[in-house]
Amino acid sequence: MNENAASSTAGKDHPENPQENPSSETAASGTPVPETTPPPVANEASVPETSAASETAPASDSAPAASEVPTPPTPSPEPSAAAAAPVAPTGAELAEIDREVEEALSGQSVLDIAKNEGLGSEIEGADPDDERARVGRIVDAGKADVIVEFGPREQGIVPASHFAQPPSVGVLMRFIVERFDEENGLYVLSLKKQVQKSSWDELEVGQVIKATVVGHNKGGLELTACNQRAFMPFSQIALERVDDPAPFLNQTFACEVVELDKPKKRLVLSRRIVLERDRTETMKKSVDTLQTGSVIKGKVTRIESFGAFVDVVNGVEGLVHISNLSLSRVEKVEEVVKVGDVIDVKVLKIEKGGKRISLGVKQLAPDPWTSVAERFTPEQAYKGKVTRTADFGAFVELEPGIEGLVHISQLSDQRVNSAASVVQPGQEVTVRVLNIDPEKRRISLTMRTDAGEQRAASDEADRDTVREYKNPARGQASQSLGDLLRRAMDDGASK
């Protein structure tokens, strides 16, 4: 064994790195072996078994020279993942990404998602607690109107007067959605409800600001707003009349600027305008829940001679006219309902956007006229109560909701000049049914006896005879008035 072979064998008895396979030329020359990147573990199995055997075999005289030892090929190092060049996504991959994003959005805009997640609390504008509030981006700002975009194909419009300063395009703000204009395909937006933080120089009429009550005088409240003194008349403090301003001392509330004179430092505020606007918005939402024909509960708030006002929902009042309080005739509303009573009412009509709501109570009961012919028969006698009298006769109630007329000619067997001379309201009388007309809701009654009926028929025949004689169309009278009287007397004698 020569010296070079011994040194080569000695180097293999204590290898520094068992995975290194230096070439025979490098080992024999004694030149330092450069470090290489270890191959992946998966490549270890590809190392020939003869290499491992050559490293562990004992040195012998018969060992071949170092130049004759077979050396396995050194695998080339693989590039690391960090050094790999980026690969652009294919068209199919981009389409798949777009599909996943669309599914995640579920038809919402990014602004809607931000709102739902509670983000964007720093966004200025309307009250974020208002359920109608939405975040939008200003895309156009004109002198009269500002266009706002909420998402794809969703835009709204808000008056420029609602902004303290002209807004910038691209700014995100929170708006109140008042309604949707179907004709123009736009949401009608508002910023008026927000309380604007402005300095004295930025104030203008129509702004809503916060003010604190610091005192009062004989005309109204004294306040401070924007580090300036302000005044609020008594009539502008609340929706109802305020006689004692003391409870408002030290209170802070939203007010609208109704008068402003900066040179004179004159500032007049109104809280009532803000309250009326809030009430109107609440009423609009409440009226939308009402439907004609629906039956709801309400509370009687006030009584007038013509009917009762009932609060049906969130301060929205409707009127139950006195004629709709009961099937029976009502003379005084207080006889049926009182302030504070909770009653069931039926919505009869909604007019002027909810400003006029007609309600009914008697409509909750079955209509008695649908079966009136089954309960009352002509020529039969019934008891009733006189409800009112008129020049032409008296009205008699046979049962709740069913009234008949006794004509003045049917009140007595004798001639009657006034119905009030025979009967009075509230008096109980016995009447006979002459005729029933359910469609016209009319019943003709009489208080005459049979003998009176006969005399009435005779009197009517005499009146017909006189009318015939006085008729101008009959031409020259063939008989004189004396002839007619004699004929009438003869007819009476024969009877």
Domain shared by 130 and 160, yes or no: yes
Q: What is the pLDDT of residues 344-380, one digit of tens each?
A: 999 999 987 778 899 999 999 888 898 898 899 999 9
Residue 427 CB coordination number (10 Å): 14
Question: Residue 295 has what pLDDT?
Answer: 93
Ranking 1-10, 154-163, 200-209 by mean pLDDT, the lowest is 1-10
Element (H, E) at 190: strand 186-190
Instruction: Say if 217 falls within a structural domain.
Output: yes
- Dihedral angle, C-alpha 124, 126, 128, 130, nearest 10 °: 180
Pairwise CA distance, residues 192 & 213, whole Å? 22
Sign of the torsion angle spanned by Cα atoms 255, 258, 260, 266 = negative
Domain shared by 114 and 177, yes or no: yes
**pLDDT band for position 207 (50/70/90)?**
confident
Instruction: Say if 195 falls within a structural domain.
Output: no
Pairwise CA distance, residues 420 & 13, whole Å? 144
Question: What is the mean pLDDT of the segment spanning 386-393?
Answer: 93
CATH number at residue 261: 2.40.50.140
CB neighbour list of residue 411: distance below 8 Å, 6 or more residues apart: 393, 394, 419, 422, 423, 447, 448
Domain shared by 423 and 463, yes or no: no
| Domain around 472 | 454-494
Q: Is 258 within 8 Å of 272 (Cβ atoms)?
A: no
Pairwise CA distance, residues 383 & 403, whole Å? 12
Domain shared by 128 and 171, yes or no: yes
Question: Residue 87 has what pLDDT?
Answer: 53
Instruction: Say if 236 falls within a structural domain.
Output: yes
Q: What are phi and psi of 325, to 5 degrees?
A: -80, -35
Domain boundary among 158, 190, 222: 190
**The total number of structural domains that make up the chain:** 6
**pLDDT band for position 486 (50/70/90)?**
low
Instruction: Say if 375 falls within a structural domain.
Output: yes
Question: What is the mean pLDDT of the segment spanning 442-447?
Answer: 94
Per DSSP bridges, beta strands 228-233 and 220-225 are antiparallel
Per DSSP bridges, beta strands 428-437 and 402-407 are unpaired
Question: What is the mean pLDDT of the segment spanning 292-310?
Answer: 93
**pLDDT band for position 180 (50/70/90)?**
confident
Q: Does the pLDDT of residue 324 top 90, yes or no?
A: yes
Domain shared by 340 and 399, yes or no: no
Phi and psi based region of residue 340 (left: phi greater than 0; alpha: psi -120 to 50; beta: remaining): left
- In single-letter form, the type of residue at position 16 comes to E
Question: What is the mean pLDDT of the segment spanning 443-470?
Answer: 64
Domain shared by 358 and 377, yes or no: no
Element (H, E) at 359: strand 356-360
- In single-letter form, the type of residue at position 397 comes to E
pLDDT averaged over the chain?
Answer: 75
Element (H, E) at 258: strand 252-261
Instruction: Say if 474 falls within a structural domain.
Output: yes
Question: Residue 13 has what pLDDT?
Answer: 43
Domain shared by 182 and 207, yes or no: no
Domain boundary among 364, 387, 410: 364
Question: In terms of C-beta density within 10 A (0-12 exposed, 13-18 middle, 19 or more buried), how is residue 281 classed?
Answer: middle
Q: Does the pLDDT of residue 74 top 60, yes or no?
A: no
Percent of the chain past pLDDT 90, that is, above it, reads: 34
Domain shared by 444 and 459, yes or no: no
